[in-house]
Structure 1
Amino acid sequence: MRALIQRVSEAKVEVAGDLIGQCGRGLLILICAMQGDTELEANKLAAKIAKLRVFKDEAGKMNRALVDVCGSALVVSQFTLAGDTSRGNRPGFSTAAPPEQGEQLYLHFAAALRALDVPVETGRFGAEMAVRLTNDGPVTLWLDTDG
C-alpha cells in the first residue's frame, strides 16, 4: 500500500458540499491499495503510521507519535498515488488495485488504525471529494509497503 501523510492542525473532506469526515490535530492520510496488496500490508502500514514519530515533544523535536499526542486521522482514498508518469505525460494507473479490492483494503486500513486507538474518520471511496487541510510544519511523508 502507498500512503502520503500530512501532519495537520485540522483537515476535512466534503462530497457535493457535504462534510463527511474531519480531524483536528493529527494526520491526513491519503491512501492507495496497489496490485498484490493484502490485509497484511494494510495492518503493517496502519501500525507504522500510528507509531511514526512526527509530532513535537517538549524540546521541539519530532519525537511523538499520533497515539502519544492523542491525535486523530482523516483517511482519504486516492488511487492517483499509483500514478506512473514514466511513459509520456498522461499518468497510468494500472498498478493500483482493482476498485473492489482497493475499497476493501482502504476500509480495512481505517479499521486497523481504529483498532490501535486512533480516532479515524474517512472520505468516500470513489467519490469526487474536496479535501481541505491546514498542514502543520509543513510535515509531509510518503510511505510504501512495497507489497
Structure 2
Amino acid sequence: MNFFRHRPFGLSALAALVIATAGCSSADDAPSAAVPRPGAAAVKLCDHLDRVLPTKVDKLGRRDPEPASPLTAGWGGDPAIILRCGVPRPAKMADPEADGVEVNGVGWLLEQQADKSFRFTTTLRKAYVEVTIPAKRTADGMAPLVSLAPAIKEAVPEGIAD
C-alpha cells in the first residue's frame, strides 16, 4: 500500500522536473549554423582558430550558434555574424570575375546573397573560413573582418587548402 501512496508523488515530481528543465533551454533563441565537415588538417587549424577568436566582433559579444562546435562561432544576436571554419572551396572562386577584398592581410572572396547579407570566404589559406554578415549588420562595412583578421592570420597559415 505504501508503494501506491508514494508513486503519484514521484510521477508529479518527475513531471515538474521535466517541465522546469524544458523551460530553461537556451537553445531556443541561439543562432544556428551548419557545422562543416573538413579533413583532419583543417579541423586542427579550425580548433586553433576557435581558441584565438576575439570575444567581440564589431562591438558584438561572442554568442556561438547551435549546434555547438569548434568549427563555428557567432557574435551578436538576431541576426548574428556567423563564422564557419573548414567549409568547402566555394565554386565562385573559379570565376575570374569574382569580387575579392583584402582586409588587414587576409584575402576574402565576397558574395552578396539574395537576402542582401554578405558571405566572405578566405582565400589563399590552408583552410577556408567563411563569415556571414547579415544585411542588418552591413552598415559598418568590413569592420567584422578587421576584428577577425588577427586571429585568422595566427591560426590559419597562408597556402592552398586541401
TM-score by length of 2: 0.25
Q: Which has the higher helix share?
A: 2
Larger Rg: 2
Q: Higher relative contact order by CA 8 Å / sep ≥ 6: 1 or 2?
A: 1
| TM-score (norm. length: structure 1) | 0.26
Higher strand share: 1
